[in-house]
Amino acid sequence: MASTPLNALNAFLAVGRRRSFAAAAVELGISSSALSQQVRQLEARLGVPLLTRTTRSVALTDAGQRLLERAGPSVDQALEALEAAAASAGEVTGRVRLSVPTISLSTVVTPILLRFAQRHPQVEVDLRIEDRLVDVVAEGLDAGIRPFEAVERDMVQVRLSKRFRYVVAGSPAYLKRKGTPQRPEDLLDHDCLNIRLPSTGARYAWELERGKKTWRIPVRGPVLATHEGVLMEMAEAGVALMYAFEPTLVPRLNRGTLRLVLEPYAAWEEGLFLYFPSRAQVSPAFRAFLDVAREVTAERA
């Protein structure tokens, strides 16, 4: 990559978004040393430090944060315009950058991606699977997917799923051995698989509700994890009860390897939503993705 101000700016944006020289180098297809040199040249040209580097981390300075927020969208649009100019007439090209939570993958994201890839093969979808609250503007993303309550109200929101429940489930073997809880408080006497919140590292207190009354139960048990997949396997093996997004349990519920308990107390969630800035200039690639997402969601409804 030739050393020009625009290339150096693009190099900085990649590092700033990824917070990693190694990850940004892979994204741009250059060496970490070449990338570092590009960023140093840009800092020298501007006369201010943009990044704070240590052996373990990379952070933005105030000047770097301002540059990322102001220049990022414009550079992305310019690169997408170049790709569009080189494309065949009517062909959509470019890149769609999304942040999605684990619970959305099989039920929401995969059906949309399958159709989108068939219809727009020249568009690359950069899918970042992360169970934390993400500022899509600051991180240079087109959009994110989150439950309704986690979406900021100044964002455009597009529904991708029906309302769903968070439920408690256990294997027949566990329920035979330990009994079936009848009230939320009974969970305190059961082995439960704990969820660690990725954003804070705290244990998640299981939330239940009935009518206007709600419970937050500080359960305890043999395993604490951030990923639902391993917890489902442990629950299916009869180790303990688990708390989960109901649609992800459907195959195991249908097979009978897991059973719902405390159903009258299941907590309802408004649904999963695609969100993006209300003032964003939507790229042709993201517009195409949005159209496919709405189409697939309408059919599933």
**Residue 1 has what pLDDT?**
46
Q: Write out the two tokens for 301.
A: 């409804």
Higher pLDDT, 7 or 231: 231
Digit-coded pLDDT (tens) for 217-227: 999 999 998 87
Bigger pLDDT: 90 or 30?
30
Distance between CA 245 and CA 152 in Å, rounded? 21
Q: Does residue 90 have a pLDDT over 90?
A: no
Q: Which residue has the tokens 């040209």?
A: 45
Cα-atom radius of gyration of the chain, to the nearest Å?
23
Least confidently predicted of 72-76, 114-118, 194-198, 246-250: 72-76
Which is more confident, 41 or 292?
292
Identify which has the larger pLDDT, 276 or 137: 276
Mean pLDDT of 206-230: 92
DSSP category for residue 136: T
Strand-pair category, 194-195 with 259-261: unpaired
Looking at residues 179-198, what average pLDDT do you find?
94
**pLDDT score at 85:** 63
How far is residue 259's CA from residue 286's CA, in Å, rounded to a whole number? 40
Q: What is the DSSP string of 165-185?
A: EEEEEE-HHHHHHH----SGG
* Spatial distance between the Cα atoms of 63 and 47, rounded to a whole number of angstroms: 11
pLDDT of the residue at 88: 57
- On average, the pLDDT of the chain sits at 88
Q: How far apart, in Å, are the Cα atoms of 124 and each of 218, 253, 283, 285?
A: 42, 35, 13, 9
First to last CA, the chain: 48
- Tell whether pTM > 0.85: no
> Does position 5 have pLDDT exceeding 70, yes or no?
yes
Which DSSP symbol is given to 88? P
Judged against a pLDDT cut of 80, whether residue 74 lies above it is answered with: no
Question: Cα separation of 225 and 197, whole Å?
Answer: 9
pLDDT at 157: 92
Neighbours of 252 (CB within 10 A): 18
Structure tokens at 61: 């300075």
Question: Averaged over 245-253, what is the pLDDT?
Answer: 92
